[in-house]
Amino acid sequence: MGHGGGHEIGGHKVAYFAGLAFNMDTLYMTWLTMAIVIILAVLATRRLSLVPSGWQNALEMVILALLEQIEAAMGPKGKKLAPLLITLFLFLLVANELGLVPGFTSPTNDLNTTLGLALLVIAVVHVAGAANKGLFNYLKHFLEPNVLFLPINIIEEVSKPVTLSFRLFGNILAGEILIIILGILVPYVIPTAWLAFSVFVGIVQAFIFTILSMSYISNALKDDHH
């Protein structure tokens, strides 16, 4: 969904390869997002100084705030996963805001992207849990407090990536749709105000997705005390 004329809201440019469908606009915007994150990281770390300024200062503030959240939510064991979670936040932050630039779209306005990220998080949850507690002990928690709760525990696990992905997808897509509609109905003033609000929403949604990811992983890393 672009900001120019003639674009279908929520539509994608689809290409087919080996019987599979690919949303090419989502792929292009995902690659662009990755490139921007890498460039920001390079700019921030190119000339490191004891008294940070510019990009280094901005990125350090974000990373330090995230490290505090990771330590508070996940404890010392979470430090190993800090690079993944920080990269996830930066990717989401750039991806969410990209669609606010005329002619661009957010890769997170595509459910394929948000669901893929959510499934990645859940995969990390289970791998970290099995590595921390042992495979048998980790799988045993699906039977707690007793075997009758197995279906409920499985439904809970399935619902995690669904809620994670749909929350982010819905908020970003809705924001971009409203910008286009307001731009048509009431040009200039209201769309500009909503654009500013959408910047805030993009930051909040990246933060919520990352915090929920931390919460899920921290539960897997907790030691069982009997």
CB 50 within 8 A of CB 213: no
Question: What three-state secondary structure class fits 10?
Answer: coil
DSSP state of 52: -
Q: Which residues pair with 79 in a beta bridge?
A: none
User: What are the CB-based long-range contacts (under 8 Å, 24+) for 147-155?
Assistant: none
pLDDT of residue 55: 66
Q: Where are the domains of the chain?
A: 14-47, 68-223
Q: Tell me, what's the pLDDT at 136?
A: 87
CA 204 to chain CA mean position, Å: 11
pLDDT score of 1: 41
Q: In the prediction, which pLDDT does 6 show?
A: 41
Give the sign of the dihedral formed by CA 41, CA 206, CA 191, CA 107: positive
What does the pLDDT read at residue 47? 65
- Asked whether the beta carbons of 77 and 223 are under 8 A apart, the reply is no
Q: What is the pLDDT of residue 51?
A: 59
pLDDT along the chain (226 residues), means of 10: 47 80 88 93 70 68 86 84 92 92 88 95 93 86 84 91 93 83 74 81 92 91 65
Is 212 in contact with 117 (CB distance < 8 Å)?
A: no
CB–CB of 110/118 below 8 Å?
A: no
Residue 105 has what pLDDT? 87
Partners of 21 in beta bridges: 16
Residue 90 is predicted with a pLDDT of 93
